[in-house]
Amino acid sequence: MLSTLCKYEDSMLAAMFSGRHVIHRDKDCRYMIDCDGSSFGHILEFLRFGTLPPSDVSEAVHRYAEYFGLKELSSKLLDYKQVRIAFEVNAINVRNPLFLTVINKVIDLLKPVKYGHIANTIIVIVHVSERHTTISRTT
């Protein structure tokens, strides 16, 4: 039923099926929604019954919840640790596109030293400015 898709009036799904937009149908008059079917099934379960998806698919469902503007589902999925981490990493990466590059360089610097000894302490200094990022390591 369309009432399920329109449950949250401020969502993209509700806007799509409000009558204000032309929604394309296939030859059998079925609505076509560009979404992974498995993830969308979990979205429908939430809209119908309020159930959350299993943790192994929570990140994918969260991406679609964000896309479709389902704020309540998105908010509840942030309680999953892996969803929260992915959300935070993405938010940081949007603000600083070099973030993942810097993190990967730091991880490389933290790998054991191949000089015949292993330092007990490794200090990594990251300096980020608007123009560039520098990373240095001392042991």
CA gap 70, 8 in Å, rounded: 7
CATH architecture of 2-95: 2-Layer Sandwich (3.30)
More confident of the two residues 102 and 126: 102
Write down the domain spans for the chain.
2-95, 99-138
CA gap 7, 20 in Å, rounded: 16
pLDDT for 71-87, tens place per residue?
999 999 999 999 999 99
Residue 126: pLDDT over 70 = no
Residue 18's pLDDT is: 86
